Structure 1
Amino acid sequence: MSARPTSTPIASPPPETDKVSAESGLQAGLKNRHLSMIAIGGVIGAGLFVGSGSGIAAAGPGILLSYALVGAMVVLVMRMLGEMAAANPSSGSFSAYADRAIGRWAGFSIGWLYWFFWVVVLAVEATAGAKILEGWVPAVPQWGWALIVMIVLTVSNLASVSSYGEFEFWFAGIKVVAIAVFILLGALAIFGVLPGTSHAASGLGNLTGHGGFLPNGPGAILTGVLLVVFSFMGSEIVTLAAAESEDPRRAVAKATNSVIWRIAVFYLGSIFVVVSLLKWDDPAILKSGSYVAALDAMGIPHAGQVMDVVVLTAVLSCLNSGLYTASRMAFSLGRRGDAPRAFARTSGRGVPQTAILASVAFGFVAVGFNYLWPDTVFLFLLNSSGAIALFVWLVICFSQLRMRGIILRENPERLVVRMWLFPYLTWATIGVISFVLVYMLTDPAGRKQVILSVLAAVLVVAVALIRDRVSGGGSGSDDAVTPSERADAVTPS
């Protein structure tokens, strides 16, 4: 494997080749409506529905500040990623940019860590979905439902990228509609005009009464940050998916510009409804879930069953996107020579079949660990991937610091999305993410995640550095440059 020169230019290709799919074997099968819904749904994970209760119990109404702080951080990170992705659409996204801006070891390391993260997520979400389905049809065991769900979504991803896009369009659409209806009903209940709403649930008294806005003190805001930060993972998926769309730059720019209102509406809007309708220490928040408890307070019948459908949809969406994301990262690593070359081969339909099958195979292994050794082996895998989201965001920040200069020097016309107040906000974001990582060490659960995730990262980085040394070094991502500059372009098999 030959080393790649760091001076490889990012030249402006002619319009007909200005697509990652043109030379990689991938096909531009994602339509604008697919990308729009992937962008919107990417910020709505199952964690928002099932994990927000613990945050509310810890921080009270002040959890809104926790979500706002993490949301602002994600907006800044997405702005940086959008700047790089709009200039150079790539199926490897931030991994390819880290390869070019920081070094080959960085692209290799963060790419494999991100792949590992999503493989573990596949097991978590498959199990969560299986529990819901088993409750509906107990004749099929939980492991059977997990197997069925994984097989169906694998077949969908193997069929074509448009199949993934279509599944995600409807999965994400249900999530979006559900939250929009929830916010609308919640607003009516808060103003006391929704029939069936209890008197105690109407108005805004729960925000400031019953211990105040911060019943557990200002420090609880940071505790809330630790509880909600990982529910935002997935925002970056649209930058990978954009590479298989008809107009990657437009898709990335649109998604980047809209991330503020998406987080404001879906996260802050829905959580505002919950903490307005319920007392922060209402036992139902932890027992039934924050959204189910809020629907009960509104007098909505069968709230639990309704939320089961929504949560199942969110789980299937996360599974679908997780398999897609893991396979595309594996595909990009294969194209850059950082994974088996077979990962970079595509079928006649433009699907990286080997990368998909390899990703789902490890996903099945992780599901098996979850059933056989949930409190030992799988817990270790879960903790060792727990802080990877923060590592990814840090790598995006450091990559953007260098990529801005590269883009301005070589192709300034491609800088269609710009990070605000560069480089000050970039450095500020690095500081905030680093602070969150350090603060996690003060939390027993967070400490284990950080330590094990750092160990996993050290192991992968060590492998990357050894490979660089053996192969003669080199950096620069040939998955982040244009078709004519890739000497190792892989054609469809």
Structure 2
Amino acid sequence: MAHTPEGAPARSATDPGLQRGLSTRHIVFIALGTAIGTGLFYGSAPAIQTAGPAVILAYAVAGLAVFMVMRALGEMAVREPVSGSFGAYAHRYLGPFAGFVTGWTYVFELSIVVIADVTAVAVYMQFWYPGTPAWLWIGACILFIGAVNLTHVGNFGELEFWLSIVKVVAILGMIVGGLILMVMGMSYDGQTSAGLHNLVDHGGFMPEGLTGVLLALAIVIFSFGGIETIGITAGEAKDASGALPKAINTVPARILIFYVGTMVVIMSLVPWNKVSGQNSPFVEIFDTLGIPFAPHILNFVVLTAAVSAVNACTYSIGRLLYAMAGDGHAPRAFRTVSDRGVPWAAVGLVLAVMVVGALINTFMEDVFVTVAQVATFAVVFTWTMILMTHRGMRKTMARHGESPGTFALPGGAFTTWATTAFIALVIGLLAWDPQSRQALVIGVVWLAVLTAAWFLGARRHGHRNARTGQMPLAAEEYR
């Protein structure tokens, strides 16, 4: 194992290959940034069309479920801050097979997302430089993200910090500007004045009924995908026991401001039935605000969101593969770590996947359209595994006579099962809606492939490295 360079952050006590180079500032803003992405900037339009103003309820209910999932993950991460996060916990408390399936499903999901986002970077850059080849911007993005993620974990955290600031400022600016327009009573189309009355004046608050709200849940859930990254940072946090609770406890406020607040402002300024879905609702808001160069400002913001997603996915996949290799669920080569504490082999694979995937997506534009739907299934599957793993951890603690720590999941078993029931409802909605049913089918096929792979070869490696039933070190040993 490479030695620690002079002046470098301390190695992780649980894994001497990694360095604890993420400060509380980094982790808090990573948590902020993962809550704001293309799912909000562009994905909110179909959700609005599906449920009308009642999409606010969908975001609020889904947000509550997200918070409970994050508290369950946070309790495990504070108690045992390892780089593999929920994949490693599933291996330990539910068994090697659970760790194998959980880890590879999340890697697959993030691989799809990172390919889509690196391709989106080229589209956004071509807005300013039309006619330029897409491969130029894709290559530049991959080289930039590679340079950030292959040097030191602190560079990843610093980049996410500044990208998150851009997104947060953009959202807050839109909300403040929208409130000003509402107070002034300005009109979107010269006839309809801005105001809260638009939430009920166009078919009522729930124009599509309860069915619309339920169908919107599947869309809304996808918007929250990626927030699990905060758990993966635990293995390299300088102060996991302090930073993680601080970041996770801001989840309700983030959801209220960035999602619920944004939806209230958008549909107060632009009646929900005027949201075409052809453009981001934010385009219409910026146009309504009359901000000079509004398209350029929005393009910069969505470009920032895309680069942030590529950066976060690269980091997350690299750390997951690193941890999975330690559990026997991935090739041992992914345990290779540089002197700076970076699992460069795992990160290198992510960069290679981006190159191949982006090229395929460039020449075969629709090849990922169908496959990308599995991301929604992967999100709810990952959340289910987090909750089930939390129950497994609590049972193991009970057998050893341990009591929950200071950052325990509120409500204990009741909260776990209530949130799991909600996720089951979302899965049922995926099966019910013909447009999203394909996502469920793809997800089931993917799990079947993983199961076959496990019994054909991965099983013996998982059993060889099984840690099920082992109790983690005390929290103070990680500091």
- Compute the TM-score of the two structures, normalised by the length of structure 2: 0.91
Identify the match of residue 340 of structure 2 among 337, 342, 349. Answer: 349
Pairwise CA RMSD: 2.5
What is the identity, as a one-letter code, of the residue corresponding to 2:246?
Answer: K
Please state how far the C-alpha of 1:201 moved relative to its aligned partner: 4.0
Residue ranges of structure 2 left out of the alignment (5+ in a row): 1-8, 475-479
Please state how far the C-alpha of 1:68 moved relative to its aligned partner: 1.1
How far apart, in 2, do the equivalents of 1:471 and 1:327 lie? 20
The 1:373/1:83 distance shift into structure 2, 3 A limit, reads same
Are 2:262 and 1:297 aligned? Answer: no
Please state how far the C-alpha of 1:464 moved relative to its aligned partner: 2.3
What is the identity, as a one-letter code, of the residue corresponding to 1:288?
Answer: N
How far apart, in 2, do the equivalents of 1:247 and 1:19 lie? 13
**Is this contact kept in 2: 1:86–1:414, CA < 8 A?**
no
What is the identity, as a one-letter code, of the residue corresponding to 1:404?
Answer: R
The 1:472/1:204 distance shift into structure 2, 3 A limit, reads closer
How far apart, in 2, do the equivalents of 1:25 and 1:411 lie? 32
1:327 match: 318
The 1:138/1:302 distance shift into structure 2, 3 A limit, reads same
Please state how far the C-alpha of 1:287 moved relative to its aligned partner: 3.1
Identify the match of residue 445 of structure 2 among 455, 460, 471. Answer: 455
How far apart, in 2, do the equivalents of 1:373 and 1:102 lie? 40
Are 2:426 and 1:418 aligned? Answer: no
Residues 259-268 or 391-400, more deviating = 259-268
Are 2:22 and 1:34 aligned? Answer: no
- Compute the TM-score of the two structures, normalised by the length of structure 1: 0.89
- How big is each residue's C-alpha offset from its partner over 1:420-440, in whole Å with a ceiling of 9 and x where there is no partner? 111111111111111111111
Residues 135-284 of structure 1 correspond to what in structure 2 (within 5 A)? Answer: 135-192=127-184, 200-283=192-275
Identify the match of residue 58 of structure 2 among 43, 63, 66. Answer: 66
2:82 match: 90
The 1:456/1:195 distance shift into structure 2, 3 A limit, reads closer
Are 2:358 and 1:340 aligned? Answer: no
1:360 match: 351
- How big is each residue's C-alpha offset from its partner over 1:11-32, in whole Å with a ceiling of 9 and x where there is no partner? xxxxxx9974563311111122
What is the identity, as a one-letter code, of the residue corresponding to 1:79?
Answer: R
How far apart, in 1, do the equivalents of 2:371 and 2:279 lie? 28
The 1:22/1:427 distance shift into structure 2, 3 A limit, reads closer
| Secondary structure in 1 matching 2:223 | helix
1:107 match: 99
**Is this contact kept in 2: 1:189–1:201, CA < 8 A?**
no
Query: What is the percent sequence identity of the aligned residues?
Result: 34
Residue ranges of structure 1 left out of the alignment (5+ in a row): 1-16, 484-493
Residues 466-481 of structure 1 correspond to what in structure 2 (within 5 A)? Answer: 466-467=456-457, 469-470=459-460, 473=463, 475-476=466-467, 481=472
How far apart, in 1, do the equivalents of 2:470 and 2:157 lie? 22
| Length, aligned pairs only | 465
**Is this contact kept in 2: 1:336–1:477, CA < 8 A?**
no
**Is this contact kept in 1: 2:47–2:55, CA < 8 A?**
yes
The 1:37/1:477 distance shift into structure 2, 3 A limit, reads farther
| Secondary structure in 2 matching 1:29 | coil
1:487 match: none
**Is this contact kept in 2: 1:41–1:172, CA < 8 A?**
yes
Residues 387-398 of structure 1 correspond to what in structure 2 (within 5 A)? Answer: 387-398=377-388
Are 2:122 and 1:130 aligned? Answer: yes
**Is this contact kept in 1: 2:225–2:379, CA < 8 A?**
yes
Please state how far the C-alpha of 1:261 moved relative to its aligned partner: 0.8
The 1:131/1:18 distance shift into structure 2, 3 A limit, reads closer
